[in-house]
Amino acid sequence: MNDRLLSFLGLCRRAGKMKIGCDTVIESVEEGNACLVLMARDISENTKKKVTSALNSTDCEILNYSKDELSFSLGKTCAVLAVEDEGFAKKLKELIRIQSLQGGETE
């Protein structure tokens, strides 16, 4: 894996600053712990609807990665995740912005 964003997501997970899965993400948002919510581009409409209805002022981004790509990089089945650290969230937003400026290309 030579993709900075996916590598950084893996680092965030290993640091214990990430929640994975619809129910745990919603819980994280409702408890005010989520700084950023990220979704796979091919997330199911049902899951997307559940998560977005729980969002208040929490930032949410749809990534240019499939569920399979996220799952492979994180070592766990993943379509939606919450980042629970402001520093990680800030860096991820920066990497997402850079990736979108490059037309979604990965390194």
Domains and CATH numbers, the chain: 4-101 (3.30.1330.30)
Instruction: List pLDDT tens digits, range 21-65.
Output: 999 999 999 999 999 999 999 999 999 999 999 998 889 999 999
What's the pLDDT at 103?
A: 74
Q: Which residues contact 58 (CB under 8 A, 6 or more apart)?
A: 29, 34, 35, 36, 37, 82
